[in-house]
């Protein structure tokens, strides 16, 4: 692939390898959800033949790719994400798109993960040394993201919406590392002079990124403070200066629920969360973990479900309102 070629990602994968190859990573989830008409993309995918009864994120990714013919290849996590994305990869290949497979080993294994990362490096023609240099270059950005996250839960100077946007877009650094770096530095300078915000209702969002378009505005109106986003935080690789294999080994998203529970329990304590909102996506297998999460975390949990990229429906809005009321001291 020529230098600078755009490569689609269906989820967070070792982006350092893509960058070391001189390619431009494009997280297709982010392109889909920030499109002017994300609901239109879901309808386009259904019109093209994808069933109504599959996850809207997958349909959104598919339709996004139809509108972005310059995306030359797609890296699909064919293990560690879900069977829908595995099938999506097969459909894309059948349509003539170059698909590169990446597997997060299940069960979690350092040895197999190392092999997968090495295979991706080989496929993209980069050396471990080139990848290490990229990882070093990204380290200050990842440190700044940890600081941004701290300014969310410790001082409240970063809002829930801002926290979500910065962390979720760290999967591909909004496709432009230098612009992202610069904007992040400016943003941190701006927020450091804001007054602290401390509200009594401190919420954590767990599960995959919510598909609703107005969630944070509604929660702010209700007087709640969102100080934790499980998956977006994971996308930012929050554990600091590890080698690449260890970094993606500690990344909880693709592995089993016990790894996630340990991370969530720590967040509940450290961030003094008063309640958790478990976001579940219609037709997603991850909904099955809801009961385990409820039983194991020792704080009130509200489970909500979203399907398409729309504003909150009135029933979900009312349930959030009642939940915040119950948590209010």
Q: How far apart are CA 173 and CA 181, in angstroms?
A: 8
CB of 28 to ligand SF4, least distance (A): 11
CB of 77 to ligand SF4, least distance (A): 9
Which residues are bridge partners to 100 per DSSP? 75
CB of 76 to ligand SF4, least distance (A): 11
137: CB partners within 8 A, 6+ apart: 177
CB of 206 to ligand SF4, least distance (A): 13
CB of 104 to ligand SF4, least distance (A): 12
Q: Which residues bind ligand SF4 (CB under 6 A)?
A: 55, 57-58, 81-82, 84-85, 208, 281, 284, 286
Q: How far apart are CA 183 and CA 56, in angstroms?
A: 30
Residues 27, 169: contact at Cβ < 8 Å? Answer: yes
What are the φ/ψ torsions at residue 315 (nearest 5 degrees)?
A: -65, -45
Q: Specify the residue, 25 or 254, whose C-beta has the smaller distance to ligand SF4.
A: 254
What are the φ/ψ torsions at residue 221 (nearest 5 degrees)?
A: -60, -35
* Strand blocks (E) in 42-160: 71-79, 98-103
Q: Specify the residue, 31 or 124, whose C-beta has the smaller distance to ligand SF4.
A: 31
3-state secondary structure of 300: coil
Q: How many CB atoms lie within 10 A of CB 73?
A: 19
Q: Specify the residue, 86 or 175, whose C-beta has the smaller distance to ligand SF4.
A: 86
Q: Please give the order of strands across the beta sheet that includes 6-9.
A: 24-27, 6-9, 71-79, 98-103
Q: Specify the residue, 13 or 222, whose C-beta has the smaller distance to ligand SF4.
A: 13
CB of 180 to ligand SF4, least distance (A): 23
Q: Specify the residue, 14 or 209, whose C-beta has the smaller distance to ligand SF4.
A: 209
165: CB partners within 8 A, 6+ apart: none
CB of 284 to ligand SF4, least distance (A): 3
Q: Specify the residue, 58 or 117, whose C-beta has the smaller distance to ligand SF4.
A: 58
Q: Specify the residue, 185 or 292, whose C-beta has the smaller distance to ligand SF4.
A: 292
Q: How far apart are CA 22 and CA 1, in angstroms?
A: 9
Q: How many CB atoms lie within 10 A of CB 60?
A: 26
Q: How far apart are CA 112 and CA 274, in angstroms?
A: 38
Q: Specify the residue, 137 or 290, whose C-beta has the smaller distance to ligand SF4.
A: 290
CB of 81 to ligand SF4, least distance (A): 6
Phi-psi region of 71 (alpha: psi -120 to 50; beta: other; left: phi over 0): beta
Q: Specify the residue, 155 or 316, whose C-beta has the smaller distance to ligand SF4.
A: 316
CB of 269 to ligand SF4, least distance (A): 27
Pairing status of strand 6-9 against strand 98-103: unpaired
Residues 234, 262: contact at Cβ < 8 Å? Answer: no
């Amino acid at each position: 692939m020529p230098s600078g070629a755009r490569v689609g990602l269906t989820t967070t994968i070792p982006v350092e390898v893509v960058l070391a190859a001189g390619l431009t990573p494009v997280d297709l989830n982010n392109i889909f959800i920030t499109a002017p008409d994300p609901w239109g993309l879901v309808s386009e995918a259904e019109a093209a033949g994808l069933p109504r009864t599959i996850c809207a994120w997958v349909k959104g990714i598919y339709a996004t790719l139809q509108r972005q013919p310059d995306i030359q290849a797609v890296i699909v996590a064919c293990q560690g994400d879900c069977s829908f994305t595995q099938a999506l990869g097969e459909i894309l290949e059948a349509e003539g798109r170059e698909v590169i497979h990446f597997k997060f080993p299940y069960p979690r294994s350092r040895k197999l993960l190392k092999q997968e990362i090495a295979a991706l490096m080989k496929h993209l023609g980069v050396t471990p040394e080139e990848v290490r240099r990229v990882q070093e270059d990204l380290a200050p950005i990842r440190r700044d993201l940890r600081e941004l996250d701290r300014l969310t839960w410790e001082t409240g100077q970063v809002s829930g919406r801002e926290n979500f946007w910065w962390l979720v877009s760290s999967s591909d650094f909004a496709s432009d590392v230098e612009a992202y770096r610069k904007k992040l530095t400016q943003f941190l300078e701006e927020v450091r002079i804001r007054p602290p915000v401390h509200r009594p209702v401190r919420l954590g969002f767990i599960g995959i990124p919510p598909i609703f378009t107005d969630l944070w505005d509604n929660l702010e109106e209700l007087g709640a403070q969102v100080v934790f986003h499980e998956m977006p935080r994971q996308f930012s690789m929050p554990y600091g200066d590890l080698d690449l294999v260890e970094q993606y080994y500690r990344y909880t998203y693709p592995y089993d629920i016990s790894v996630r529970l340990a991370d969530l329990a720590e967040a509940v304590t450290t961030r003094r969360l008063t309640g958790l909102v478990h976001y579940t996506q219609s037709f997603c297998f991850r909904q099955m973990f809801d009961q385990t999460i409820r039983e194991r975390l020792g704080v009130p949990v509200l489970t909500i479900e979203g399907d398409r990229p729309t504003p909150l429906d009135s029933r979900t809005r009312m349930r959030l309102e009642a939940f915040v009321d119950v948590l209010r001291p």
